[in-house]
Amino acid sequence: MKNLLIFIILIAAFMSSSACASVRSDVAAGNKSYRSGEYQNALEHYVQAYSKEPKNPKVGNNAGVSFYKMNRYQDAGKYLSEAVASPELSSKNRSIVNYNLGNNYYKSGQYDKAIQAYKTAVDLDNTNQDAKYNLGFVRKKHKDNNQSGVMKEKNNQDSKGDKQDNNQQKKDKKNNQGNDDNNKNDNKKNNEKPPEKGDISKEDAQRILDMVAKEQGQNPTKLQQSAKGETNVEKDW
């Protein structure tokens, strides 16, 4: 019985050792593909390792950055969020995962979360220069975007007010012009001598003939219709 127990323990230790070796092999193969820019191949190796050790933060981090490189930010966030929560991480490695998570938030347009992730990365490891750089970069970009949004809203309101003023001015001008035309017509009517019935001047007749000829030879008018600072690459420990 004692010998059987020892045998079972040895078998379990051997299987555990074999599993660890298999995970290390998958991670090594994934790292090689990743460094060659073959992110899909790298991801397949990392996911294989993840299926064997889902709580391994290094595997989760590397799978996350592979998704990130393929612009699959939602999937990347899932793996990176799991990795950063692992109690097995040292402060330095947790800083690295926070940095990668910050990059993913930034690419997703979640600037507030990106800033917080970079800040956490710097707090955990003050020597993480990439996290420091990106923290300043995203803070400035976020501030500029907010100011741009405020100015755009103000310009829209000003433009709306100007449009209303212009419409009112056009309306007033049209009314004034109408009154002027009426006055001119009245004055012209009073000053002109009524033509005798059936009588037309030679000049008026020629003007009418010229107008008809012009209209017959004129083509239709054609209207013309007018109709430094990127974030750095992710880290790998």
Ramachandran class of 37: left when φ > 0, alpha when ψ lies in -120 to 50, beta otherwise: left
For 25-59, write each residue's pLDDT tens digit.
Answer: 999 999 999 999 999 999 999 999 999 999 999 99
CB 59 within 8 A of CB 27: yes
For 120-173, write each residue's pLDDT tens digit.
Answer: 999 999 999 999 999 999 999 999 998 876 766 767 776 666 666 666 677 666
Quote the CA–CA distance of 92 and 54 in Å, as a whole number. 21
For 83-101, write each residue's pLDDT tens digit.
Answer: 999 999 999 999 999 999 9
Residue at 232: amino acid letter: N
Instruction: Decide if pLDDT at 225 tops 80.
Output: no
Structural domains of the chain ordered from first start:
14-89 (1.25.40.10), 101-161 (1.25.40.10)
Residue 212: CB atoms within 10 A of its CB come to 10
Q: Return the beta strands (E) in 49-168 as ranges.
A: none
